[in-house]
Structure 1
Amino acid sequence: MSGQICLDYPRGTLHALEQRLQAAEGLLRGTKFMWKRETKRMADGLKSVVLEVRCPWGNNYVLAQQIPGMEGQWYGPFRELSSSVVKGHPSLSPEFPLGIRAVRFDVKPGAAVLIAAFYETYFKCVADMCEDENGRECCSIQMGCHQRLEFCETSKEIPPYDGHHIAVYVTEFDECYTRLKAAGINCH
């Protein structure tokens, strides 16, 4: 995938995660694995200490501290979920992420505004135009409570589609499907 998956971790746990990444460096030498620590402004406008990580297979992740005010909460489709709701889940350990803040896709220049219009028209999503931390034009689509799809323009070459896919929350599915079908958009 050309882009990044942004995961949120409980506040105060990135240092331990950073130590685990350091410990893995020798084992993953010779792969695409790499990481660095940065302070960045996310497309949602919030500044955050992040770890940018590329896995051994080349997928890019941004591991960030949880959004302030969300401590102890997981991200759900409509609202935050308290840890008591998911009691017994293995990810209650602070070494696991609390949820996906964003999936960020690289798109060609001029595409972000068109993608925003598509999501607003067919999915009735809230779409905001913004700039990411590198000054790139982006559209940010709200897809759940504190969760977004971000489409950021880039002049770099974007590799051909590789079959990746994601699942999203869709409210009023029947109406959405009807709008897509009426427009001749093939849904699979």
Structure 2
Amino acid sequence: MPQQFDRSKEDLGNAIHFEHVNIQVPDQRLATLFYVAGLGLTRDPYLMVSDTNMWINAGRSQFHLPSGRPQVLRGHVGLVIAGREALLARLASVAKKLEGTAFAFAEHNDHVEAICPWGNRLRCYEPDAARFGRVALGVPYVEFDVPVGSAARICAFYPEIMGMPSELRNGDGTVAAVKTGRDQHLLFRETDRPQGDYDGHHVQMYITDFSGPYRKLLARDLISREDNQYQYRFCDIVDLDSGKPLFTVEHEVRSATHPMFMRPMVNRNPAINNRNYAFGHDQASWAMGPDQYEG
């Protein structure tokens, strides 16, 4: 008899890849110290190479860091990156140059929290296939702090409007988990802490049914920007019944036919320097090796 498989576990829904978080920074040098020298990530060598914007590769995802008044995401970004001790050493090495900013880092049981010079929080995890899939370097989730009582309604918004599967989780608070790609999620965690005003940062994902969500968003007057043939944006996540905004964050929505879909990204090996250089070890792989293949 043929082996039985749970085929539903491989369903992605409409979103097939979460690519970037966009956060303005006022100082490109300090951003380089934090994201490249401290975290050990890689500046995109091909695009945005002047001093007014910087794209930082993290596996197959990115941080986009245009110059401007500082923006702070209301929540945190999850980052998978191997080598906790090396990460701690890199963060310590930039601490003096980042004195007088909001920069800080601390060890926790399952992650290292790193805070950028303007207050954005990242939780850095070791690769863990059971938790994050076979990712050795990447952004498995972005978590937003949302008002108490909103998670269930946010959870209802994404499948109905965007075609993106979601589930309501209860554990350390109530959380709406929205699937944005393989082993990638937007998380909306309820909190009673006061929230700052939305400052314009955004997240970006690719979807396959591009026109269906567009029509639904347009019918509710939620389209905030028409970028081009392959891309549009919306900001408000709303209650499906009343239309009342539940949470605001700009979504840059791209089609799977977008010219930049799954473009190759260079990821350097942060352990390599001019003193220990070894041929063939310049790049880091974003995925776990074949010895960890689960198929």
TM-score scaled by structure 2? Answer: 0.48
| Structure 1 Cα separation of the partners of residues 132 and 148 of structure 2 | 37
| Offset, 1:24 | 2.2
* Structure 2 residue aligned with 1:92: none
| Offset, 1:23 | 2.1
Code of the residue aligned with 1:144 in structure 2: it is G
Partner-residue secondary structure (3-state), 1:167: strand
The gaps in structure 1 that reach 5 residues or longer are 40-48, 75-96
**Identity rate, percent:** 30
Q: Deviations over 1:2-30 (max 9, x none)?
A: 110111113xx121011111222222222
Kindly indicate whether residue 104 of structure 2 is the aligned counterpart of residue 9 of structure 1.
no
Name the count of aligned residue pairs.
Answer: 153
Q: 1:63 aligns with which of 99, 124, 129?
A: 124
1:10-49 correspondence to structure 2 within 5 Å: 10=82, 13-39=83-109, 49=110
| Offset, 1:182 | 2.5
The gaps in structure 2 that reach 5 residues or longer are 1-72, 226-295
| Offset, 1:116 | 0.9
Kindly indicate whether residue 183 of structure 2 is the aligned counterpart of residue 146 of structure 1.
yes
Choose 22-31 or 147-156, whichever is displaced more: 22-31
Choose 175-184 or 115-124, whichever is displaced more: 175-184
* Structure 1 residue aligned with 2:150: 111
Larger Rg computed on CA atoms = 2
Q: 1:98 aligns with which of 123, 137, 157?
A: 137
| Offset, 1:72 | 10
| Structure 1 Cα separation of the partners of residues 124 and 206 of structure 2 | 22
Kindly indicate whether residue 112 of structure 2 is the aligned counterpart of residue 51 of structure 1.
yes
- Structure 1 stretches of 4+ moved >6 Å: 69-72
Q: Deviations over 1:125-182 (max 9, x none)?
A: 11111146xx221101010111100011111111001010111122201111112222
| Offset, 1:73 | 5.3
Q: Is the 8 A contact 1:73 1:98 kept in 2?
A: no
Code of the residue aligned with 1:140 in structure 2: it is A
* Structure 2 residue aligned with 1:89: none
Code of the residue aligned with 1:8 in structure 2: it is V
Q: Is the 8 A contact 2:111 2:126 kept in 1?
A: yes
Q: 1:168 aligns with which of 197, 201, 205?
A: 205
Q: Is the 8 A contact 1:6 1:100 kept in 2?
A: yes
Distance 1:28-1:118 versus aligned 2 partners, 3 A rule: same
Distance 1:181-1:146 versus aligned 2 partners, 3 A rule: same
